[in-house]
C-alpha cells in the first residue's frame, strides 16, 4: 500500500502524462487481506496512535489514486477482492475481463467497509445496491458487476489492458488540461460530502475488528 501510494504521488507533477492505467497480473488483481496472517490482526492495545497510522495506509493509498490529475483506468483480470475493489473505486474507469470475479467480504470478517469507500460505491451503484454488496457479500461475476454499474467495460479474458490502452489513446487526443479539469469538476461534485461522511471509518473498522465476534468471523471466513 505504501509503494502504491508513492507511485500515485509520483504522477502529480508529471505534465507529460494524461492517462494512467493500473493493472494486476493476468490471473489476479488483488486477493485482499491474508486472513491466515496473525500479524495482520494483532492489535497492540497500548499503541493507539500506531494502530491508527498503520490503518490509515489503505485510505491514504486510495485518496492518492483518486486525486491524481490524470485520468485513471483500472484493468482487472481474474480475482479482485476487498481492498482491491476499494482501489479500483478510486479510478475513473474500470475495465474487467469476462472471467473476473469480485467480492467485498469486509462485513463477513467483522469490519465495515472502510478506506472511505462507501460514498464511492454509492456513487456507482446507488444506496440500496451498496448495502447489498457489503452486507450480503455475494461474489459477483463481471456481467453482474457491469449491470450494477460497479464496472464500466467487460472484455474477453486477457484483453483488459488492451481495452484500457484504447480508451487511454482516445482520452489522450484531448488537451491534457481539459482532461484534468473535467475530472476535477466531476469529482468535486460527486465527492462533495465524501470526507465528511467517512472521516472516522478507519477508526470504526479498527474498533469493530478488535471484537470477539470479528475474530470468530475471520476464523469462519478464512476456513471456507
* Of 60, 51, 56, 55, nearest in space to 5 by CA: 60
d(CA 83, CA 78) in angstroms, rounded, equals 15
* Residue showing cell 465476534: 213
Sequence-distant (≥ 6) Cβ neighbours of residue 204 within 8 angstroms: 112, 114
For residues 99 and 26, is the Cβ–Cβ distance under 8 A?
no
User: Given pLDDT bands bounded at 50, 70 and 90, which one contains residue 141?
Assistant: very high
168-189 pLDDT tens trace: 999 999 999 999 999 999 999 9
- DSSP state string for 83-123: HHHHHHHTSSEEEEETT-EEE--TGGGT----TTHHHHHHH
Q: What domains can you pick out in the chain, each with its CATH number?
A: 2-222 (3.90.226.10)
Q: What is the predicted pLDDT for the residue at 37?
A: 60
Mean pLDDT of the chain: 87
* Of 141, 129, 5, 137, nearest in space to 62 by CA: 5
d(CA 3, CA 10) in angstroms, rounded, equals 11
Better-scored residue on pLDDT, 48 or 100: 100
For residues 112 and 205, is the Cβ–Cβ distance under 8 A?
yes
Sequence-distant (≥ 6) Cβ neighbours of residue 89 within 8 angstroms: 62, 117, 120, 121, 124
72-110 pLDDT tens trace: 999 999 999 999 999 999 999 999 999 999 999 887 878
d(CA 145, CA 140) in angstroms, rounded, equals 6
Strand partners, 81: 103
H-state helical runs in 106-193: 117-125, 127-136, 142-148, 160-171, 176-190
Is the pLDDT reported for residue 162 higher than 60? yes
Q: What is the pTM of this model?
A: 0.85
Amino acid at each position: 500500500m505504501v509503494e502504491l501510494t508513492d507511485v500515485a504521488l509520483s504522477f502529480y507533477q508529471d505534465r507529460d502524462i494524461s492517462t494512467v492505467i493500473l493493472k494486476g497480473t493476468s490471473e489476479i488483481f488483488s486477493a485482499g487481506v491474508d486472513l491466515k496472517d496473525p500479524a495482520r490482526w494483532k492489535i497492540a492495545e497500548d499503541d493507539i496512535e500506531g494502530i491508527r497510522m498503520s490503518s490509515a495506509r489503505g485510505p491514504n493509498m486510495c485518496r492518492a489514486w483518486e486525486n491524481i490529475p490524470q485520468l485513471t483506468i483500472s484493468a482487472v483480470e481474474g480475482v479482485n477482492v476487498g481492498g482491491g475493489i476499494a482501489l479500483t473505486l478510486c479510478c475513473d474507469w474500470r475495465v474487467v475481463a469476462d472471467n473476473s470475479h469480485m467480492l467485498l467480504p469486509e462485513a463477513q470478517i467483522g469490519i465495515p467497509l472502510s478506506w472511505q469507500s462507501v460514498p464511492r460505491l454509492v456513487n456507482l451503484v446507488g444506496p440500496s445496491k451498496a448495502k447489498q454488496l457489503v452486507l450480503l457479500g455475494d461474489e459477483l461475476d463481471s456481467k453482474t458487476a457491469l449491470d450494477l454499474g460497479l464496472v464500466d467495460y467487460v472484455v474477453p479474458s486477457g484483453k483488459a489492458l488492451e481495452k484500457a490502452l484504447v480508451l487511454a489513446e482516445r482520452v489522450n487526443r484531448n488537451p491534457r488540461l481539459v482532461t484534468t479539469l473535467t475530472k476535477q469538476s466531476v469529482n468535486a461534485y460527486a465527492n462533495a460530502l465524501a470526507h465528511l461522511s467517512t472521516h472516522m471509518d478507519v477508526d470504526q473498522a479498527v474498533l469493530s475488528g478488535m471484537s470477539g465476534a470479528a475474530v470468530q468471523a475471520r476464523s469462519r471466513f478464512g476456513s471456507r
